[in-house]
A and B are shown apart, each in its own frame.
Chain A
């Protein structure tokens, strides 16, 4: 039996600590030990993006990251988006623009779009499609997902300029 390791990191702003085998994947730690079931297990082969979380300012597929790689990391999941009872602009965008049907891909979509808008606050449609290409949706045909991201980009931009 391989020795377990203690790993401490910040999850949605809160300090957490877990004791895991080195082979444990971040998605399993989040879902099974920390009860953060927003990130979903879709393909398990780093293709679908349903398990996307934000890790130290990067969008990553948490099915392809070891929990032991997350010592001192800052992790953001969909559970961390709502603040004080108010939905994040992206969550609002996905509801207003009907950016989901079954909703399975949505936490990953929103978490990925969050980092995209941090890096590029006013992306063109082409840029949204290019930079969201690591997330698959089997329902919507992507049209409304693009609109939802545009909705959030506009809302966040208005909030920044204070108009």
Chain B
């Protein structure tokens, strides 16, 4: 399996990459880690005439904390996220999520920015970003904009990222130290996408839920924010009945497509189960 012919470009900085993107327009695709795009090109589902490799742009890499924000370069790999002491300490949910993505070899190459920009409803970072309240920096030749993750994913392989734009950075407000969290993912085997998965962040006030965020992976055209489920939990004691009701509400917004991972009914049921598990684990990790 060999991709169709294309021209390869390896810009060394963001302005050069944006210039190439402008020059080649619809013909161009950005190459991040390449573990979604290259397989698609090998299958000839994608046939770009020009490939713009972002791998040589240093400023797109790295993880740092600045002004209460975790700032992650879009070309930071999953493996770099997993081994980041800063993220292990300040944002363990992202580390937990990254550890469940694909397999070790893919995680050396796969990037957070590529995962997010691709818009695949099976990708895991969108749900993590939604419950962490992340924002994305999108750069174009005309300037940059910062957009919230909530609303960025508009459909299957569709995001707010415009053709002339490059996602350069992911910004995550440092979660409060007492935040409970969990990414619960059901997959058939290592390397597979989720049959269903749920991401949760949770803050308690005494025995009651102070703040909660729930997002679901791969059970709709894009990542789903389970707003009604969140609303049902706020201010409540998180007992079995409250968790079951939240899961029911989360399931009610699912609209998965039947495929080799299961039929729609099964996937919805698993989304409920993953929601319950993520809520229970997040509860056990949340400190008062």
Establish whether residues B79 and A58, one from each chain, have CB atoms under 8 Å apart when the complex forms: yes
Given contacts A22-B7, A134-B191, contact A61 B104 (CB under 8 A): no
Given contacts A2-B7, A46-B106, A65-B109, contact A22 B191 (CB under 8 A): no
Q: How far is the CA of A22 from the CA of B50 in the complex (A)?
A: 10
Given contacts A69-B53, A112-B105, A134-B190, contact A45 B8 (CB under 8 A): no
User: Which residue of A1, A24, A61, A132 is within 8 Å of B106 (Cβ)?
Assistant: A61
Q: Chain A residues near B41 (CB, 8 Å)?
A: 23
* Binary CB contact string for chain A from 76 to 112 against chain B (1 if under 8 A, 0 otherwise): 0000000000000000000000000000000000001
Given contacts A58-B79, A69-B55, contact A134 B7 (CB under 8 A): no
Establish whether residues A23 and B34, one from each chain, have CB atoms under 8 Å apart when the complex forms: no
Give residues of chain B (31-45) contacting chain A, Cβ–Cβ below 8 Å. Answer: 34-35, 38-39, 41-42
Establish whether residues B34 and A64, one from each chain, have CB atoms under 8 Å apart when the complex forms: yes
Q: How far is the CA of A47 from the CA of B189 in the complex (A)?
A: 11
**Chain B interface extent, by class:** 20 to 34
User: Which residue of B1, B4, B34, B191 is within 8 Å of A47 (Cβ)?
Assistant: B191
User: Which residue of B8, B55, B108 is within 8 Å of A60 (Cβ)?
Assistant: B108
Establish whether residues B38 and A66, one from each chain, have CB atoms under 8 Å apart when the complex forms: yes
User: Which residue of B3, B8, B79, B108 is within 8 Å of A5 (Cβ)?
Assistant: B8
User: Which residue of A2, A5, A22, A60 is within 8 Å of B109 (Cβ)?
Assistant: A60
A74 within 8 A of B: no
Establish whether residues B109 and A58, one from each chain, have CB atoms under 8 Å apart when the complex forms: yes
A59 within 8 A of B: yes
B241 within 8 A of A: no
Q: How far is the CA of A24 from the CA of B10 in the complex (A)?
A: 16
Establish whether residues B34 and A22, one from each chain, have CB atoms under 8 Å apart when the complex forms: no
Q: How far is the CA of A2 from the CA of B27 in the complex (A)?
A: 14
Establish whether residues B1 and A44, one from each chain, have CB atoms under 8 Å apart when the complex forms: yes
Q: How far is the CA of A69 from the CA of B34 in the complex (A)?
A: 11
Establish whether residues B7 and A64, one from each chain, have CB atoms under 8 Å apart when the complex forms: no
* Binary CB contact string for chain B from 1 to 38 against chain A (1 if under 8 A, 0 otherwise): 11111111010000000000000000000000011001
Given contacts A45-B39, A65-B34, A133-B190, contact A22 B108 (CB under 8 A): no
A131 within 8 A of B: yes
A117 within 8 A of B: no
Q: How far is the CA of A1 from the CA of B5 in the complex (A)?
A: 8
* Binary CB contact string for chain B from 41 to 60 against chain A (1 if under 8 A, 0 otherwise): 11000000001010100000
Establish whether residues B105 and A52, one from each chain, have CB atoms under 8 Å apart when the complex forms: yes
Q: Chain A residues near B231 (CB, 8 Å)?
A: none
Q: Chain B residues near A132 (CB, 8 Å)?
A: 104
Given contacts A52-B105, A134-B190, contact A68 B38 (CB under 8 A): no
Establish whether residues A3 and B106, one from each chain, have CB atoms under 8 Å apart when the complex forms: no
Q: B residues within 8 Å of A by Cβ?
A: 1-8, 10, 34-35, 38-39, 41-42, 51, 53, 55, 79, 102-106, 108-109, 190-191
Task: Give 22 pairs: A residue, B residue, CB < 8 Å, sorted on A.
Answer: A23-B3, A44-B1, A46-B35, A46-B39, A46-B105, A47-B191, A49-B103, A49-B105, A59-B105, A64-B34, A64-B35, A64-B38, A64-B39, A68-B10, A69-B53, A112-B104, A133-B103, A134-B102, A134-B103, A134-B104, A134-B106, A134-B191
Q: A residues within 8 Å of B by Cβ?
A: 1-3, 5, 21-25, 28, 44-47, 49, 52, 58-61, 64-66, 68-69, 71, 112, 116, 131-134
